[in-house]
Amino acid sequence: MEGYDNGLPAQDFYSQAASVWVRHPKSCSLASSFSSERSAIHNNPSLILFFSWTSARPRPVSEYTTEYIEMFPSNPIMIIATTLTDLTFKSERSKQSALIPAVDYIISRHLDQDIHVHYFSEGGSHKAIQLAKAYLYTTGREMPLTSLCLDSTPGDYQYHRSAERSNKACHPIASSESSASSSPTSC
């Protein structure tokens, strides 16, 4: 499959940009999109945004996207992945610029209403915030979310605060280890 890479399931997804993949729905009538009992009890989002955890592998990601495809067979799904490099070393401006193709896709296909967001862990939540900021910067308005699924997410919405806490927590360990040995140790 074209665009298969870190975290991408092989379910008719194609690469939209670096770390962004899209699945276009197959032609499907409105009646058949609500054929399953599960679809009938959920709203029908215009787009499902799926933000995977940092360095997610294809198999576990595909388990989630398979469920979404079964629930909403006529709805597009966008997977946005993140790597440790994205999360820790890139500037916010760089992260948001990399997501402009995703914003352009959403706007050009008129999918900018009734958006369902599902994100995982620190990496997914951070990337979702970056997309929301890129969307706001590009359109001048907030992203219209209808539903939000927070899965194994951190308790703090600001990555820098979490990173500072982690650094403080690791610093005493690193200091005691480095004083016990002649070589420096990092956390």
In this structure, are 97 and 179 located in the same domain?
no
Decide if pLDDT at 22 tops 90: yes
Beta bridge partners of 154: none
For residue 148, list its beta bridge partners. Answer: 117
| Same-domain check for residues 142 and 170 | no
Which domain does 82 fall in, by range? 13-154
- Could you tell me the pTM of the whole model? 0.71
Size (the chain), residues? 187
The DSSP element (H or E) to which 51 belongs, if any, is strand 47-54
Structure tokens belonging to residue 141: 């308005």
Number of domains in the chain: 2
Q: pLDDT tens-digit profile of 154-180?
A: 655 565 666 665 555 544 444 444 444
CATH number, position 142: 3.40.50
* 61-70, 81-90, 101-110, 154-163, range with the lowest pLDDT: 154-163
